[in-house]
Amino acid sequence: MTILTRLLARIINQGTLTIRYADGTQEVLGTPAENWPDVAISFTDDAAARAIVTNPALGAAEGFMDGRMLLERGTIWDLLMLISANAPMESSRSLETPGLLGHVGERLKHWHDTYNKRDRSKANVAHHYDLSDKLYDLFLDADRQYSCAYFDDPETDSLEDAQLHKKAHIAAKLALSPGQRVLDIGCGWGGMALYLHRVADVDVLGVTLSEEQLKVARRRAQEAGVADRVRFELIDYRDVQGEFDRIVSVGMFEHVGARHYREFFRVCHNLLKQDGVMLLHTIGRLNGPSSTDAFMRKYIFPGGYAPALSEIMEGSEPNKLLLTDIEVLRLHYYHTLRHWYARVLDAKEQIVALYDERFYRMWTFYLAAAASGFLYGSQTIYQLQYCRNRHTLPLTRDYMAQAEARYRALG
């Protein structure tokens, strides 16, 4: 029995994984079970199997991307779900069980990789968000919402409906009034900024470090005839000037870097009016500070890190931003990723034509790994509402439900 087989045998009990090694040896792990995956993989060389033992996340990803770990039965989604379901976060069993030195090493990597200076931040953003517009059009909704949607019913809601629900849900927490000035930090392709203006008659400044996203956002504002009230700038959030009634940030905090959390919240505090409100929507982790896995660091989000709630609070509390509401969206991103993954599979030919087969396999691994993290791992979504003055918002949360219903009615 190889080291990899022994390692996986400690984890997989339900469902089956068949492994065929380069020398023809075959091992079967687990027990057949109803509604559990039955997966078979093979390795073209011994080094591909050893790489998984050395670094499970990166080794498996690169082996799959390079065609050295082949799926003979099932998909990469099935494989990652099989392993994650057998070793959920709540279980004491884990594929990676580093000792003290391993934990110290992970914390050092976390500290180094989330040190996002200005020039590094722009390069990290370009790595992911300046990919071809055509790629994102193939799997996102029409508004290009590249963040967690909000599902009333995951079985019946379309991705488009759920993303519209998300925007209404966030807008409601901002307690908006006509004519207010809103700052959208990390505005993406402009969908949230344009939505807030449309449903609440507010002026919005969206800031981004992605040149490709900026072009699209500005074009959309021009086409909607609202460029005088919804503006977009290529600027680091640390360089924004002025005062704002509201600040919203969706899916950007993951790129700030843990070493810059206090700076981020200090900037937000100083930009927010005394009676201002801020809504932060971010991927987070449920099990305390850790580090980003090697595959995500290298291929998907260099400099990216999903914070523990304790880390967010360590950044906001010293800056006198009062936490007035928090919501944990536990499974919504899993369902969002289900839709994205299915659309990527349907668009395989187009994606391979845009890039190549290796990129396509990388993208499917990324989406499947992320989905397994939200279903079985430590990943979650936090929505945190802040203000500077405790008297700014109503005493109860009823205003949120009322505003959300009003925004949904507008479509």
Within 13 Å and on the Cβ side, how many CA atoms surround 40? 6
**395: in domain:** yes
Tell which of 32, 63, 86 closes a domain.
86
The DSSP code sequence of 8-63 is HHTT--BEEEEEE-TTS-EEEEEE--TTS-EEEEEESSHHHHHHHHH-HHHHHHHH
CATH code of the domain covering residue 187: 3.40.50.150
- Strands in 15-20's sheet, in edge-to-edge order, are 26-31, 15-20, 38-43, 69-73
Is there a single domain that holds both residue 133 and residue 81? no
pLDDT in tens, 236-259: 999 999 999 999 999 999 999 999
Is there a single domain that holds both residue 199 and residue 276? yes
**112: in domain:** no
**287: in domain:** yes
pLDDT less than 70: residues of the chain:
1, 90-130
Other CB atoms within 10 A of residue 377 CB: 18
Is there a single domain that holds both residue 228 and residue 369? yes
**96: in domain:** no
Is there a single domain that holds both residue 128 and residue 62? no
Is there a single domain that holds both residue 127 and residue 68? no
Distance CA(328)–CA(341), nearest Å, equals 23
Of 276, 320, 368, 391, the C-alpha closest to 39 is 368
Distance CA(278)–CA(386), nearest Å, equals 5
Tokens of 310: 């304790």
| Type of residue numbered 109 | K
Is there a single domain that holds both residue 303 and residue 400? yes
99 CB burial (10 A radius; 0-12, 13-18, 19+): exposed
Is there a single domain that holds both residue 10 and residue 138? no
Please tell me the predicted confidence (pLDDT) of residue 247: 98
Tell which of 86, 104, 130 closes a domain.
86
Is there a single domain that holds both residue 77 and residue 128? no
Residues 86 and 16 sit within 8 Å (Cβ to Cβ): no
Is there a single domain that holds both residue 143 and residue 20? no
Domain count, the chain: 2
**98: in domain:** no
**91: in domain:** no
- Give residue 8's domain range: 3-86
Please tell me the predicted confidence (pLDDT) of residue 384: 98
**99: in domain:** no
Is there a single domain that holds both residue 133 and residue 77? no
Is there a single domain that holds both residue 296 and residue 168? yes
Is there a single domain that holds both residue 176 and residue 315? yes
Tokens of 114: 């989330």
**257: in domain:** yes
291 CB burial (10 A radius; 0-12, 13-18, 19+): buried
